[in-house]
Structure 1
Amino acid sequence: MQRRKFLTTATVAGILATSAKSLFGYTAAKVGFVLKKGKNRFNEHTMLIGNSPVDIKVSGKDTGGALTISEYTGFAKGGPPLHIHPLQDEVFYILEGEHLFQLGDRQFHLKQGDTVFIPRNTPHAPAQLSEKGKYLFFFTPSGKMEDFFRALSALKKDATSADAVKIFEDHDMKIVGPPLSVK
């Protein structure tokens, strides 16, 4: 019986590994890479909340869609609305500043070195409390998150809240509440 279970598991793992292209639209990189400090994967900065860049460090294109790692450097207090990712788990690792995170109905004050894990379908919102903040954030699987940040960055100054809601929905997310209040 154990042999059958092993063979079944090995077969399924092999099928999934070879079908990454069909599942996520691309295959994993065959060669590793190094990014120097201040650099990003594709020489592009997506800007949020004014002049706050989100830099892709490891792309879903590198991982067969399994993982995206980005770095956010915030130059303004605040954050996105309370939202859910039905298809991704998310992890934040705080590099600098003070941040408030809401997970469901709980709130956490986080500082440098702290980590927060957010399972898919969990209402959550980060908010930067300090004048400057920085964190790494991870999505697994990658989904449409890289394109989400590009779309937000492209929003015009006269965009409406309906425009933002549509961007969230187009990238498999749902807004479920307002941003956290920051003083």
Structure 2
Amino acid sequence: MRRRNFILTGLLSVPVLSFGKLLDFKLFSPPQKGFFIKANESRFNGEQKTIANELLRCVVSNKDSDGQLLMGTTLPGSIKFKGGPPLHIHKLQDEIFFVVSGEFLIQLDKQIFTAKTGDATFIPRGTPHTFANPHENNPGSLISIHIPGSDEMEAYFKTIASGNFPKESSADLSDVGPPIDIDAYYKNLKT
């Protein structure tokens, strides 16, 4: 009786696994090896290299986590100009911002927050959001974590790291509004 149940269970699992492939279902296989990354290193595509003149670094690559997450951070002193990206959404990814040091503005839907060292924001997929650097030569640093990760978002980060902002990208990123108006935000705080 047990042998028959074992064979029956095995046979019934074949259609389930096949159906999962149709839905792009992926069984998670955890990373086989941990790693340590120094402050002057980056891990784009799972390859650890010393940073030269990048604006940001990849701390955990999409490849490192088998597509489960992507973690990048700006480098202290790399954010020279005021401003930030347009208000946007990620349809397939949740995002977390964590302020390592300094001060940033973070917009979550229609509300703007002044985020300082230690502050964090969780952004569910589909939620309009953005951030902005409110200071010239900001000495601060901001971490961005995407769950799940994606090769396209990592490629987007890598282009920005080199000092270029992509005009087009296949990353899970759709603009839905303008960047934060920094001057208007601070003017409204005073009134």
TM-score w.r.t. length of structure 1: 0.72
* Equivalent of 1:127 in 132, 153, 159: 132
Q: Is the 8 A contact 1:44 1:55 kept in 2?
A: no
- Corresponding residue for residue 91 of structure 2: 86
Taking the TM superposition and a 5 Å limit, the aligned residue runs for 1:43-62 are 43=49, 53-62=55-64
Q: Is the 8 A contact 2:55 2:162 kept in 1?
A: no
Q: Is the 8 A contact 1:90 1:138 kept in 2?
A: yes
Q: Do structure 1's residue 77 and structure 2's residue 82 form an aligned pair?
A: yes
1:148 CA drift (Å):
1.4
CA, structure 1 residues 154+57, in 2 after alignment: closer, same or farther (shift >3 Å)?
Answer: closer
What do the CA deviations read for 1:23-56 (whole angstroms, capped 9, x no partner)? 67x954311110112211232769xxxx761200
User: Which contiguous aligned blocks of 4+ residues in structure 1 show a shift greater than 3 angstroms?
Assistant: 151-156
What do the CA deviations read for 1:87-134 (whole angstroms, capped 9, x no partner)? 100001101221111111111110001001111011111001133121
Secondary structure at the aligned position of 1:80 is classed as: coil
Secondary structure at the aligned position of 2:42 is classed as: coil
Taking the TM superposition and a 5 Å limit, the aligned residue runs for 1:1-183 are 28-41=30-43, 42-43=48-49, 53-73=55-75, 74-130=79-135, 131-132=137-138, 133-143=140-150, 144-152=152-160, 164=167, 166-167=168-169, 170-183=170-183
Secondary structure at the aligned position of 2:157 is classed as: helix
TM-score w.r.t. length of structure 2: 0.69
Question: Which is richer in strand?
Answer: 1
CA, structure 1 residues 180+45, in 2 after alignment: closer, same or farther (shift >3 Å)?
Answer: farther
Unaligned runs of 5+ residues in structure 2 are 1-12, 184-191
Q: Is the 8 A contact 2:54 2:161 kept in 1?
A: no
Secondary structure at the aligned position of 1:150 is classed as: helix
1:75 CA drift (Å):
2.7
Query: Equivalent pairs: percent with the same residue?
Result: 34
The amino acid across from 1:68 in the alignment is: L
Q: What CA distance in whole angstroms lies between the structure 1 residues aligned with 2:31 and 2:82?
A: 36
Matched residues, number: 153
Q: Is the 8 A contact 1:82 1:175 kept in 2?
A: yes
Larger Rg belongs to: 2
In angstroms, what is the RMSD of aligned CA positions?
3.0
